[in-house]
Amino acid sequence: MAYRDDIVALGADHHWDFDGDSNDQIGSVNGTNTSIVFTSSAIAEDATNCAETNALTDRISMPTTTNINNSAQNRKAVCGWFATTAIQRPPERIYGEGNETTSFAFIIGWGNNVIFEVDSASFTVQVYSDTFLEPNRAYHLCMIFEGSDYADELRCYLDGVKQLTGQPTDRSIGATTLAARGVAEFGDPAGTVAIGGTVILLEACVNGQYNHWVTFDGANAVLTDTEVREELFEKGALPGTTITSGTQSAMQTSLDALADTARGNEPLNIRVNAVTGDGDLELNADNITHNALASIHVQYMGTGTLTWTNLNGSNASIGSTPNGGTIIFITTVTVTVHVLDSSTFTDVTDAQVLVEAASGGDLAEGTDILTGVTNSSGIVTTSSFGYTNDQPVKGRVRKGTTSPFYKTSVITGTITSAGLTVTVLVEPDNVAG
């Protein structure tokens, strides 16, 4: 299903894809453009181009409409994709409705921090983005107003992640409605506007880019966290690179071409299309690392299960499955047992070691994890345990076939994302077992 269809399915009242024009794809609220450029590449799925403001006075004005701005609303939402090519001078406006006393606005500045703000006669609520917008990187922004008859909260999201820093700290509204507001505009406000109730000159972002902005009114505005993240953000994110459909072998070869690379700060680093026949798929990533600010590491477009194994420092952990599939991230970690004589604390060579799964993890209890005998340093180890979640273990150490002999000792512990290293003390035994 196309991204446009996903938006319609959520019950949006208006949708401007900004793919060549400012026409409403759902209703008849078409925008009026002032010096808007439509030739830059799209910043989200299901579009070829985007709308761009390239001067401080550029704007797109929307006709006054009841379910957007010119009536009191107890619930409303506005969401869309935005990018800018530079650090903006503070403050500038991405989108807004209203004037200096009553408003609903997305504001950018101060190193590309975003302020989500609503103002009315009895309240001002602001929420601040927890990361600065990196130039030339697309972001999905979403702001949801719910008055005190409902959640009593201003909910704001960046790439589908709820932003929790605000004023007041609980982001509560304390009133039933947001009063009627002036015209809705992208970019430069035509009238007098404010931040926090203080009149201030706001202008358009220079080289601000837009795709797929939508508005919701009433019950449809009560978008869930999952809908914002999975439907509006994940399904609209453009990938940095794509592993195209093919046999498992062919897709592994394509992934191998990315070995020893660092994926950047992007909405979506790697998209993996369905394997031929759309069954289960196993891929090994060889030293492919992901920027800490990337929103999605791997998106799997199939309906089966993708088992993704991180090898040699690969660190994928954030997945997306728009078509109902499953991603299992496995990271190989090291499990080490070091055996020492309990009397002399010297290394014990040729001790027999068994480590198996205990209850409480992903593995069936009793599954073998490590078997072997200790080397000259008293150590037995494996570096290929496939970690998915913390795995409790149990086991035993015994040396009863060659002198010196040792009694059986138990092993307990938990394999974490850092692996497991455990030291076991064994007691000398004068009787062979």
Q: Are 169 and 122 in contact (CB under 8 A)?
A: no
The partner residues of 124 in beta bridges, in order of sequence, read 119
CA distances, 1 to each of 111, 267, 323 (Å): 37, 20, 9
User: CA-to-CA distance for 112 and 129, rounded, in angstroms?
Assistant: 9
Distance CA 96, CA 118 (A): 10
pLDDT at 187: 96
In which region does residue 187 sit, left (phi positive, over 0), alpha (psi from -120 to 50) or beta (all else)? left
Q: Which helix (H) or strand (E) holds 395?
A: strand 391-399
**Where in the chain are the domains?**
3-234, 239-324, 332-426
Please report, in tens digits, the pLDDT of each residue of the chain (433 residues total).
799 999 999 999 999 999 999 999 999 999 999 999 999 999 999 999 999 999 999 999 999 999 999 999 999 999 999 999 999 988 999 999 999 999 999 999 999 999 999 999 999 999 999 999 999 999 999 999 999 999 999 999 999 999 999 999 999 999 999 999 999 999 999 999 999 989 998 999 989 999 999 999 999 999 999 999 999 999 999 999 999 999 999 999 999 999 999 999 999 999 999 999 999 999 999 999 999 999 999 999 999 999 999 999 999 999 999 999 999 999 999 999 999 999 999 999 999 999 999 999 999 999 999 999 999 999 999 998 999 999 999 999 999 988 999 999 999 999 999 999 999 999 998 765 4
Q: Tell me the CATH class for 332-426.
A: mainly beta
In the prediction, which pLDDT does 25 show? 97
Q: How big is the chain by its Cα radius of gyration, in Å?
A: 28
In this structure, what DSSP letter does residue 19 have? S
Burial of 315 (0-12, 13-18, 19+ CB in 10 A): middle
Find, among 188, 235, 226, 224, the residue nearest to 208 by Cα: 188
DSSP β-ladder status, 268-272 and 92-98: unpaired
- Which fold would CATH assign to domain 3-234? Jelly Rolls (2.60.120)
Residue 253: CB atoms within 10 Å: 12
pLDDT at 432: 53
